[in-house]
């Protein structure tokens, strides 16, 4: 009996190599998340988060998730919720992300007037650690109730995740103060 590969790249390669009729239930990089573009992700010297998912035949849910790293064999615990897996992945790749200030989502970037976006970007860049966005770090946004908490892969400037600041729901589960809100003047 062979052991299953570990890590996002190993899981992706194993699923792509398996016969189609044997792929159901195998862990793989979840659709729309980094590394899913159909290519085996090339490893780099930095750690980049992604999500693994697999189909399960349960009556109440159909997918399980795990936070993972594209550049090493890290895999988080099995989770029923995608957001929890994204948080696990970021705890591995960007451990400081929970202390980032929450910001308003970026204003739309219009061709005729990019100034509001540029001011927003400058304020966030100043408030976040130096080089954070350039290295694919996540951004924490305070969203309206109607927007939902789903993490948005590639939603941050620099290609990182846009993670919703879900203060009221999360502070019961996670010890410590909730993330501060950054007041932006745009």
Beta bridge partners of 51: 67
Dihedral, 121, 127, 131, 133 alpha carbons, nearest 10: -50
Contact 75, 6 (CB under 8 A): yes
Average pLDDT of the residues in 148-152: 85
Least confident of 28-37, 129-138, 156-165: 28-37
Give the pTM: 0.80
Confidence of residue 93 (pLDDT cuts 50, 70, 90): very high
Q: How far apart are CA 130 and CA 42, in angstroms?
A: 25
Task: Identify the residue with better confidence: 112 or 78.
Answer: 78
* Chain position carrying tokens 């792509």: 16
Tokens in use for 90?
A: 């970021």
Q: Is 158 left (phi over 0), alpha (psi -120 to 50) or beta?
A: left
139 pLDDT band (50/70/90 cuts)? Answer: very high
Return the sign of the alpha-carbon dihedral for residues 1, 5, 152, 176. positive
């Amino acid at each position: 009996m062979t052991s299953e590969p570990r890590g996002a790249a190993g899981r992706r390669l194993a699923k792509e190599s398996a016969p189609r009729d044997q792929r159901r239930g195998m862990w793989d990089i979840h659709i729309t998340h980094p590394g899913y573009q159909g290519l085996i992700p090339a490893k780099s010297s930095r750690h980049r988060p992604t999500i693994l998912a697999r189909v399960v035949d349960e009556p109440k849910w159909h997918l399980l998730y795990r936070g993972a790293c594209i550049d090493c064999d890290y895999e988080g615990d099995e989770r029923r919720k995608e957001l929890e897996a994204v948080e696990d992945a970021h705890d591995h790749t960007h451990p400081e992300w929970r202390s980032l200030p929450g910001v308003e989502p970026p204003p739309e970037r219009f061709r005729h007037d990019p100034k509001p976006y540029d001011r927003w970007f400058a304020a966030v860049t100043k408030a976040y650690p130096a080089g954070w966005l350039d290295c694919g770090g996540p951004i924490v946004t305070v969203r309206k109730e109607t927007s939902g908490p789903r993490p948005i892969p590639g939603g941050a400037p620099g290609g990182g995740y846009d993670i919703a600041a879900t203060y009221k729901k999360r502070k019961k589960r996670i010890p410590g103060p909730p993330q501060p809100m950054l007041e932006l003047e745009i």
